[in-house]
Structures are given as C-alpha cells and as structure tokens.
Amino acid sequence: MNDALSVTNLNNELDGQPFDGLIKNAGIMGQGNATRGNIDYTAWQNCLSTNVLGPTRVAETFSDNIIPSKQRKLITMSSRMGSIAATSAPNSVVYRSSKAAVNMVMNILANDLGPQGVIVTSFHPGWVRTDMGGSTTPNSPQVSAGCIRQIIADLGPSDNGAFLNYDGETIPR
C-alpha cells in the first residue's frame, strides 16, 4: 500500500474490472512506547504512511471498481486504539493517532461513497495472536477473521460509516 507504483500497476491490470469488496489491512505499531517527551517523529511518519496514507491510496484508487459491483463494500482494518471517544491512556500516541486518522478518512469516504451505494466500514480485529499482538493474546487470527467475515457478509446501507469490533459491537469514534 505504501508503493504508489504497485497500486497503480495493479489498477492498470484490473482495467476497471468491478469487484464486490476490498479489505485493506495495514498496520505497524511505529513506536509502541511513544509518550509525551518520548516521540520518535521518523517512526511516526512511517506509521502514518503505512496506517493512513496506504489504505487511503488503495481506497481512492479502487473505489471506482467497487461502485459498479453488486455488494459495494470497502473495509478497513483499524484498531480500538484509534477511538478518540474511548481513549484515556497516555501512551502509544504514534499508533493511536494513525488509527484515529484512518478512521476519519474512512468516515469521510463513507459520506462521499455512501450515496453511490458503497458501504465503508472500519473494524477492530480484537487483540489477536500476531507479531504485533503477541503470542498470549486471547484471539486467534482465524476466530477474528471468521467473525469479521460474517459481519461483512451481513453489512447493509445502515452500516455505512460504522466502526465495529470483530464481534459486531459498535465502537465510538
């Protein structure tokens, strides 16, 4: 997603072919211990590039492929840590701000594409056993993905702009 040329080349290969859904899954922690007085601004820029600019680039490039499709679903993997309303922690400013930013972009895209029938939704996958989540987290990737897959299948127009947990719970932006 960070390589604009790769995204452009894929768009050229698809040559306008419609597809029902697009799931954008990009996430790096950046600087996990970032707090006031301890921010690595280069890490923050890299995190914003991967977590915000990459998904935005892909959404912008391929939205014209989604508009003429049957299901019209544009999905972004985000994080509960990007919820401004639910944040009380003083840490992870780099990651949290990047996920809050991608949530805002997807909300704007929901406003833009919703009138054309596209459902734009962000998901929190839960705390998942991955390189980022760690090996002792409660959810396997299979459980998280299976739950999200089912929710995506059932999404309707009223879900446009939603920010959802992997179990379907609505997360405040």
Question: Distance (Å, rounded) from C-alpha 168 to C-alpha 137?
Answer: 19
10 Å CB burial of residue 61 (0-12, 13-18, 19+) is middle
Pairing of strands 119-124, 21-24: unpaired
Compute CA 36 distance to the chain's CA centroid, rounded to the nearest angstrom: 25
Question: Distance (Å, rounded) from C-alpha 17 to C-alpha 62?
Answer: 10
Contact 27, 51 (CB under 8 A): yes
Which residues carry out catalysis?
95
Which distant-in-sequence residues (6+ apart) come within 8 Å of 115 by Cβ? none
10 Å CB burial of residue 102 (0-12, 13-18, 19+) is buried
